Amino acid sequence: MGLKQLALVGLLPFSLAAPFLPRTTPAPATTWNAGATPEFPIHSSCNSTEVIQLRKHLHDMATVANHAIDHILRYGNESTIFTKWFGSAPTAEPIGWYERLVRADRTGFQFRCDDPDHYCGPPGETGYWRGVEVAPEDVNICPLAYTLVPLEALCSRGYTLANWEITSVMVTDLMHRLLHVPSVAELVVEHYANGYTASIELAETNPEETVMNSDSLQYFALEAYAWDIAAPGVGCVGDEDAARAKYEASLASVASTAGPTATATVAATIVSATTTSAPASCHTHADGVVHCE
Protein backbone atom coordinates (compact mmCIF):
# COMPACT_ATOMS: atom_id res chain seq x y z
CA MET A 1 0.00 0.00 0.00
CA GLY A 2 1.48 3.33 -1.05
CA LEU A 3 1.39 6.61 0.82
CA LYS A 4 -1.65 7.85 -1.14
CA GLN A 5 -3.82 4.87 -0.16
CA LEU A 6 -2.80 5.18 3.47
CA ALA A 7 -3.85 8.80 3.40
CA LEU A 8 -7.33 7.81 1.99
CA VAL A 9 -7.80 5.18 4.70
CA GLY A 10 -6.97 7.85 7.22
CA LEU A 11 -9.73 10.09 5.82
CA LEU A 12 -12.41 7.40 5.94
CA PRO A 13 -13.73 7.96 9.47
CA PHE A 14 -14.14 11.65 8.69
CA SER A 15 -16.30 11.05 5.59
CA LEU A 16 -18.48 8.52 7.49
CA ALA A 17 -19.01 11.13 10.16
CA ALA A 18 -20.62 13.43 7.61
CA PRO A 19 -23.03 11.07 5.78
CA PHE A 20 -25.57 13.75 4.92
CA LEU A 21 -23.30 15.85 2.74
CA PRO A 22 -24.49 15.45 -0.88
CA ARG A 23 -21.82 13.66 -2.89
CA THR A 24 -23.36 14.42 -6.31
CA THR A 25 -25.78 17.07 -7.56
CA PRO A 26 -29.41 15.77 -7.35
CA ALA A 27 -31.04 14.47 -10.55
CA PRO A 28 -33.22 17.12 -12.27
CA ALA A 29 -36.95 16.96 -11.52
CA THR A 30 -38.75 14.57 -13.84
CA THR A 31 -40.58 16.16 -16.76
CA TRP A 32 -42.64 13.15 -17.85
CA ASN A 33 -45.90 15.12 -17.58
CA ALA A 34 -44.69 18.51 -18.81
CA GLY A 35 -47.57 20.41 -20.41
CA ALA A 36 -50.25 18.46 -18.54
CA THR A 37 -53.67 20.04 -17.94
CA PRO A 38 -55.13 18.38 -14.83
CA GLU A 39 -58.04 20.81 -14.33
CA PHE A 40 -60.90 21.49 -16.76
CA PRO A 41 -60.09 24.84 -18.44
CA ILE A 42 -62.92 27.39 -18.24
CA HIS A 43 -63.11 29.99 -21.02
CA SER A 44 -63.18 33.72 -20.24
CA SER A 45 -66.79 33.89 -21.48
CA CYS A 46 -67.84 32.40 -18.12
CA ASN A 47 -68.28 35.11 -15.50
CA SER A 48 -67.04 34.94 -11.94
CA THR A 49 -70.19 33.42 -10.42
CA GLU A 50 -70.47 30.88 -13.22
CA VAL A 51 -66.85 29.82 -12.65
CA ILE A 52 -67.40 29.42 -8.90
CA GLN A 53 -70.50 27.27 -9.43
CA LEU A 54 -69.01 25.25 -12.28
CA ARG A 55 -65.89 24.41 -10.24
CA LYS A 56 -68.12 23.31 -7.36
CA HIS A 57 -70.23 21.10 -9.62
CA LEU A 58 -67.13 19.59 -11.28
CA HIS A 59 -65.83 18.73 -7.83
CA ASP A 60 -69.19 17.07 -7.10
CA MET A 61 -69.00 15.16 -10.38
CA ALA A 62 -65.57 13.83 -9.40
CA THR A 63 -66.99 12.83 -5.99
CA VAL A 64 -69.79 10.84 -7.62
CA ALA A 65 -67.54 9.24 -10.26
CA ASN A 66 -64.96 8.33 -7.60
CA HIS A 67 -67.69 6.77 -5.49
CA ALA A 68 -68.87 4.75 -8.50
CA ILE A 69 -65.32 3.39 -8.80
CA ASP A 70 -65.14 2.65 -5.05
CA HIS A 71 -68.52 0.88 -5.10
CA ILE A 72 -67.52 -1.28 -8.07
CA LEU A 73 -64.10 -2.12 -6.61
CA ARG A 74 -65.72 -3.07 -3.28
CA TYR A 75 -68.65 -5.16 -4.56
CA GLY A 76 -68.05 -5.89 -8.26
CA ASN A 77 -70.94 -7.70 -9.85
CA GLU A 78 -72.24 -8.83 -6.44
CA SER A 79 -73.74 -5.36 -6.25
CA THR A 80 -77.37 -5.40 -7.38
CA ILE A 81 -76.92 -1.76 -8.42
CA PHE A 82 -74.09 -2.90 -10.70
CA THR A 83 -76.08 -5.71 -12.32
CA LYS A 84 -79.16 -3.48 -12.62
CA TRP A 85 -77.29 -1.08 -14.92
CA PHE A 86 -74.50 -3.22 -16.41
CA GLY A 87 -75.96 -6.73 -16.34
CA SER A 88 -73.27 -9.37 -16.76
CA ALA A 89 -70.67 -6.98 -18.21
CA PRO A 90 -67.15 -7.03 -16.73
CA THR A 91 -66.48 -4.30 -14.16
CA ALA A 92 -63.29 -2.81 -15.62
CA GLU A 93 -64.78 -0.82 -18.49
CA PRO A 94 -67.12 1.41 -16.45
CA ILE A 95 -64.29 1.94 -13.96
CA GLY A 96 -62.21 3.16 -16.89
CA TRP A 97 -64.79 5.71 -18.02
CA TYR A 98 -65.27 7.02 -14.47
CA GLU A 99 -61.49 7.31 -14.14
CA ARG A 100 -61.35 9.34 -17.35
CA LEU A 101 -64.14 11.61 -16.07
CA VAL A 102 -62.08 12.23 -12.93
CA ARG A 103 -58.48 12.18 -14.08
CA ALA A 104 -57.98 12.32 -17.86
CA ASP A 105 -55.78 15.11 -19.17
CA ARG A 106 -57.81 18.19 -20.21
CA THR A 107 -55.40 19.67 -22.77
CA GLY A 108 -57.43 21.25 -25.58
CA PHE A 109 -60.73 21.05 -23.70
CA GLN A 110 -62.77 24.06 -22.61
CA PHE A 111 -66.02 24.90 -20.89
CA ARG A 112 -67.52 28.08 -22.33
CA CYS A 113 -70.57 30.18 -21.52
CA ASP A 114 -71.11 32.40 -24.59
CA ASP A 115 -73.55 30.04 -26.38
CA PRO A 116 -71.82 30.11 -29.78
CA ASP A 117 -74.41 27.81 -31.39
CA HIS A 118 -77.48 29.44 -29.82
CA TYR A 119 -79.05 26.48 -28.00
CA CYS A 120 -79.38 28.17 -24.61
CA GLY A 121 -82.80 29.63 -25.39
CA PRO A 122 -85.11 30.61 -23.81
CA PRO A 123 -86.61 28.14 -23.27
CA GLY A 124 -83.41 26.38 -24.23
CA GLU A 125 -80.96 23.83 -22.95
CA THR A 126 -78.87 23.48 -19.82
CA GLY A 127 -75.80 23.01 -22.00
CA TYR A 128 -74.44 21.29 -25.07
CA TRP A 129 -71.44 19.64 -26.62
CA ARG A 130 -70.51 21.46 -29.86
CA GLY A 131 -69.99 18.27 -31.86
CA VAL A 132 -67.03 16.50 -33.40
CA GLU A 133 -67.04 18.57 -36.60
CA VAL A 134 -67.50 22.02 -35.02
CA ALA A 135 -65.44 21.96 -31.83
CA PRO A 136 -65.06 18.46 -30.36
CA GLU A 137 -63.48 19.66 -27.12
CA ASP A 138 -65.96 22.49 -26.44
CA VAL A 139 -68.83 22.20 -23.99
CA ASN A 140 -71.12 25.19 -23.53
CA ILE A 141 -72.85 25.53 -20.17
CA CYS A 142 -76.06 27.59 -20.30
CA PRO A 143 -77.48 29.74 -17.44
CA LEU A 144 -80.31 27.18 -17.04
CA ALA A 145 -77.76 24.60 -15.78
CA TYR A 146 -77.42 26.46 -12.48
CA THR A 147 -81.08 25.72 -11.72
CA LEU A 148 -80.56 21.91 -11.82
CA VAL A 149 -80.62 19.74 -8.67
CA PRO A 150 -77.24 20.17 -6.94
CA LEU A 151 -75.59 17.06 -5.49
CA GLU A 152 -76.33 18.05 -1.89
CA ALA A 153 -80.06 18.05 -2.75
CA LEU A 154 -80.06 14.58 -4.33
CA CYS A 155 -83.06 12.55 -3.09
CA SER A 156 -84.86 15.72 -1.97
CA ARG A 157 -87.15 18.23 -3.75
CA GLY A 158 -89.15 15.20 -4.97
CA TYR A 159 -86.28 13.98 -7.14
CA THR A 160 -86.33 10.27 -8.02
CA LEU A 161 -84.13 8.32 -10.39
CA ALA A 162 -87.02 6.59 -12.16
CA ASN A 163 -89.38 9.54 -12.60
CA TRP A 164 -87.11 12.51 -13.28
CA GLU A 165 -84.72 12.98 -16.17
CA ILE A 166 -81.19 11.84 -15.33
CA THR A 167 -79.98 15.25 -16.56
CA SER A 168 -82.12 17.13 -14.04
CA VAL A 169 -79.20 16.67 -11.64
CA MET A 170 -76.20 18.93 -12.32
CA VAL A 171 -73.63 16.18 -11.71
CA THR A 172 -75.11 13.81 -14.28
CA ASP A 173 -75.84 16.64 -16.72
CA LEU A 174 -72.12 17.44 -16.63
CA MET A 175 -71.22 13.74 -16.99
CA HIS A 176 -73.50 13.53 -20.02
CA ARG A 177 -71.76 16.46 -21.77
CA LEU A 178 -68.30 15.16 -20.90
CA LEU A 179 -69.12 11.63 -22.09
CA HIS A 180 -69.39 13.13 -25.60
CA VAL A 181 -65.97 14.79 -25.50
CA PRO A 182 -63.18 12.75 -27.18
CA SER A 183 -60.62 13.62 -24.48
CA VAL A 184 -62.88 11.87 -21.96
CA ALA A 185 -64.91 9.29 -23.89
CA GLU A 186 -62.63 8.55 -26.86
CA LEU A 187 -65.66 8.58 -29.20
CA VAL A 188 -66.59 5.18 -27.72
CA VAL A 189 -69.31 6.13 -25.24
CA GLU A 190 -72.57 6.63 -27.13
CA HIS A 191 -76.32 6.67 -26.66
CA TYR A 192 -77.37 3.05 -27.01
CA ALA A 193 -80.45 3.43 -24.81
CA ASN A 194 -81.95 6.52 -23.21
CA GLY A 195 -83.86 6.89 -19.99
CA TYR A 196 -84.41 4.80 -16.87
CA THR A 197 -86.47 1.89 -18.22
CA ALA A 198 -84.69 1.57 -21.57
CA SER A 199 -81.29 1.52 -19.84
CA ILE A 200 -82.42 -1.24 -17.46
CA GLU A 201 -83.68 -3.24 -20.45
CA LEU A 202 -80.31 -2.78 -22.14
CA ALA A 203 -78.61 -4.44 -19.13
CA GLU A 204 -80.82 -7.50 -19.69
CA THR A 205 -80.56 -7.68 -23.47
CA ASN A 206 -77.17 -6.18 -24.42
CA PRO A 207 -74.98 -5.89 -21.31
CA GLU A 208 -71.88 -5.38 -23.46
CA GLU A 209 -73.40 -2.08 -24.69
CA THR A 210 -74.24 -0.76 -21.21
CA VAL A 211 -70.59 -0.14 -20.37
CA MET A 212 -70.40 2.24 -23.36
CA ASN A 213 -73.88 3.70 -22.86
CA SER A 214 -73.88 7.26 -21.58
CA ASP A 215 -77.15 6.93 -19.62
CA SER A 216 -76.14 3.61 -17.98
CA LEU A 217 -72.89 5.18 -16.74
CA GLN A 218 -74.82 8.17 -15.36
CA TYR A 219 -77.59 6.11 -13.72
CA PHE A 220 -75.22 3.68 -12.03
CA ALA A 221 -73.07 6.45 -10.58
CA LEU A 222 -76.05 8.44 -9.32
CA GLU A 223 -77.86 5.43 -7.84
CA ALA A 224 -74.72 4.16 -6.09
CA TYR A 225 -74.22 7.63 -4.59
CA ALA A 226 -77.91 7.97 -3.64
CA TRP A 227 -78.04 4.53 -1.96
CA ASP A 228 -74.63 4.63 -0.27
CA ILE A 229 -74.22 8.32 0.62
CA ALA A 230 -77.18 10.68 0.04
CA ALA A 231 -79.89 8.51 1.65
CA PRO A 232 -77.95 5.49 2.99
CA GLY A 233 -79.73 2.19 2.50
CA VAL A 234 -82.79 3.99 1.14
CA GLY A 235 -81.82 5.81 -2.05
CA CYS A 236 -84.49 7.48 -4.17
CA VAL A 237 -85.46 5.13 -6.97
CA GLY A 238 -89.10 6.30 -7.09
CA ASP A 239 -91.94 4.61 -8.94
CA GLU A 240 -90.42 2.14 -11.42
CA ASP A 241 -93.82 0.84 -12.56
CA ALA A 242 -94.92 4.36 -13.47
CA ALA A 243 -91.67 4.90 -15.36
CA ARG A 244 -92.18 1.66 -17.29
CA ALA A 245 -95.82 2.45 -18.06
CA LYS A 246 -94.83 5.89 -19.38
CA TYR A 247 -92.06 4.38 -21.47
CA GLU A 248 -94.32 1.68 -22.95
CA ALA A 249 -97.11 4.16 -23.62
CA SER A 250 -94.71 6.40 -25.52
CA LEU A 251 -93.48 3.45 -27.60
CA ALA A 252 -97.10 2.46 -28.32
CA SER A 253 -98.10 6.00 -29.28
CA VAL A 254 -95.16 6.27 -31.66
CA ALA A 255 -96.15 2.91 -33.15
CA SER A 256 -99.83 3.86 -33.60
CA THR A 257 -99.26 7.32 -35.04
CA ALA A 258 -96.44 6.48 -37.40
CA GLY A 259 -97.01 2.84 -38.33
CA PRO A 260 -95.68 -0.52 -37.20
CA THR A 261 -92.05 0.15 -38.05
CA ALA A 262 -91.93 3.42 -36.13
CA THR A 263 -90.74 1.86 -32.88
CA ALA A 264 -87.82 0.24 -34.63
CA THR A 265 -87.11 3.51 -36.44
CA VAL A 266 -87.06 5.47 -33.22
CA ALA A 267 -84.74 2.87 -31.69
CA ALA A 268 -82.46 3.17 -34.71
CA THR A 269 -82.54 6.97 -34.46
CA ILE A 270 -81.42 6.77 -30.85
CA VAL A 271 -78.54 4.48 -31.74
CA SER A 272 -77.50 6.63 -34.70
CA ALA A 273 -77.47 9.78 -32.58
CA THR A 274 -73.77 9.25 -32.28
CA THR A 275 -70.97 11.48 -31.17
CA THR A 276 -70.12 12.09 -34.82
CA SER A 277 -73.29 14.06 -35.49
CA ALA A 278 -72.48 17.74 -35.56
CA PRO A 279 -73.10 20.47 -34.73
CA ALA A 280 -74.75 19.80 -31.39
CA SER A 281 -78.10 18.40 -32.33
CA CYS A 282 -81.38 17.86 -30.57
CA HIS A 283 -83.76 14.97 -31.24
CA THR A 284 -86.86 13.48 -29.66
CA HIS A 285 -86.77 10.06 -28.05
CA ALA A 286 -89.45 7.38 -27.98
CA ASP A 287 -90.56 8.59 -24.55
CA GLY A 288 -90.98 12.13 -25.89
CA VAL A 289 -87.88 13.47 -24.18
CA VAL A 290 -85.90 15.97 -26.23
CA HIS A 291 -82.23 15.13 -26.04
CA CYS A 292 -79.43 17.48 -27.02
CA GLU A 293 -75.88 16.31 -27.50
Ligand X SMILES: *[C@@H]1O[C@H](CO)[C@@H](O)[C@H](O)[C@H]1NC(C)=O
Give phi and psi for 128, each to the nearest 5. Answer: -160, 150
| End-to-end CA separation in angstroms for the chain | 82
Q: Which residue's CB is nearer to ligand X, number 209 or number 287?
A: 209
Among 15, 44, 88, 156, binds ligand X (CB under 6 A): 88
| Residue 32 CA, distance from chain mean position | 27
Residues touching ligand X: how many (CB under 6 A)? 8
- Please tell me whether residue 50 binds ligand X under the rule CB under 6 A: yes
Q: How far is the CB of 53 from ligand X (least distance, A)?
A: 9
Task: Answer for the pair 252, 235: CB distance below 8 angstroms, yes or no.
Answer: no
Q: What distance in Å separates the CA atoms of residue 137 and residue 237, rounded to the nearest whole number?
A: 33
Instruction: Tell me which residue of 150, 167, 158 sits closest to 217, measured CA to CA.
Output: 167
Q: How far is the CB of 47 from ligand X (least distance, A)?
A: 4
- Which residues, at least 6 apart from 82, have a Cβ–Cβ distance to it below 8 Å? 71, 72, 75, 76, 91, 220
Among 37, 45, 63, 77, binds ligand X (CB under 6 A): 77
Q: Which residue's CB is nearer to ligand X, number 95 or number 229?
A: 95
| Residue 257 CA, distance from chain mean position | 36
- Binding residues for ligand X restricted to 240-279, rule: CB under 6 A: none
Q: Which residue's CB is nearer to ligand X, number 143 or number 238?
A: 143
Q: How far is the CB of 190 from ligand X (least distance, A)?
A: 22
Q: How far is the CB of 32 from ligand X (least distance, A)?
A: 33
Stretch that binds ligand X, among 41-49, 66-74, 128-136, 237-245 (CB under 6 A): 41-49
Q: Dihedral sign, CA of 253, 254, 259, 263?
A: negative
- Binding residues for ligand X restricted to 135-164, rule: CB under 6 A: 143
Q: Which residues bind ligand X (CB under 6 A)?
A: 47-50, 77, 83, 88, 143
